[in-house]
Amino acid sequence: MKKILLVCDLGMSTSLVVKRMQEAAVKRQLEVEIQAKGMSDFKNAITAFDCALLGPQIAYKLADCKQIAAPLNKRVETINMMDYGMVNGEKILDHALSLIN
């Protein structure tokens, strides 16, 4: 099972994105676990996930997150601002899966 971490400032604003991604995964019959966490949980949480996507509002933290994730061979990127704003679960799921495959 693939595990995807979404990160925002407090872990709340990405909850709708998580829901839409999960709906897209069910439609595709994919086994994925998707969770949202706050930035303060990133360092501990990334160890249990295959990749992480940061919400656009904390894109300025990308370099720090990549530095934490690199020794663990985990990829971290930001969510496209348009996809985030439109809550496009399909595209965001595709983006996350591309980081894992």
Q: Active site includes 8?
A: yes
Instruction: Name the residue type at position 47.
Output: T
Count CA within 13 A, CB hemisphere, residue 68.
Answer: 18
In the set 4, 6, 8, 36, the catalytic residue is: 8
The gap from C-alpha 90 to its chain's centroid, in whole angstroms, comes to 13
Can you state the angle between helices 89-100 and 15-27, rounded to 10 degrees? Answer: 80
Structure-token pair, residue 48: 């249990």
List active site positions.
8
